Amino acid sequence: MYAIPICRILALKQSVSATSLFELDGALLDSNNRIYGEGFQKLSQLGGTLAHPQQLGGYSDEGHYKLIGPYHMPTAYGMFNMTLASNDCLLLGFSTCQKFIGRVSFNTEKILVSIDGPMVPRCLNRIYRKI
């Protein structure tokens, strides 16, 4: 159990391009944590570490598809896995991408989970009306 807050919920923080769901505090992140994430079209992946992410595959999201992550952070789409120092894994993923794109953007200071797409405002309005 952690004595300091590690996650901030940001579900209503919308911008023109994305809606942030939550942010993990970088105080608990180790720049040497190994990472793996899927690319936008699944033709590329991210590997390496938080401090030194590497493109795997021939088509990078930034170079080939011209997709830039929020705040110019490296970004995985749909699924992101990080191996912690204790060899535990932190797996973040989305069960669907039918009406929105689930993104996990990261650097050594934070992990930002957001969704993007034309249906996002309507989907969130339905969710929050039910609560």
Q: Is residue 96 part of a domain?
A: no
Q: Is residue 81 part of a domain?
A: yes
Query: Which residue range forms the structural domain that includes residue 49?
Result: 7-90+103-130
Of the candidates 28, 34, 22, the residue with the CA atom closest to the CA atom of residue 81: 34
Provide the pLDDT for residue 117.
66
Among the residue ranges 1-5, 103-107, 120-124, the one predicted with the least confidence is 1-5
Burial class (CB in 10 A: 0-12, 13-18, 19+), 110: middle
pLDDT tens digit sequence for 89-120: 989 988 876 777 889 999 999 999 988 766 55
pLDDT tens digit sequence for 15-53: 545 677 888 887 778 999 999 999 988 788 999 999 999
Q: Is residue 98 part of a domain?
A: no
> How many domains is the chain built from?
1
For the entire predicted model, the pTM comes to 0.76
Of the candidates 43, 110, 37, the residue with the CA atom closest to the CA atom of residue 77: 37
Q: Is residue 2 part of a domain?
A: no
Provide the pLDDT for residue 1.
40
Tokens 């060899």 correspond to 87
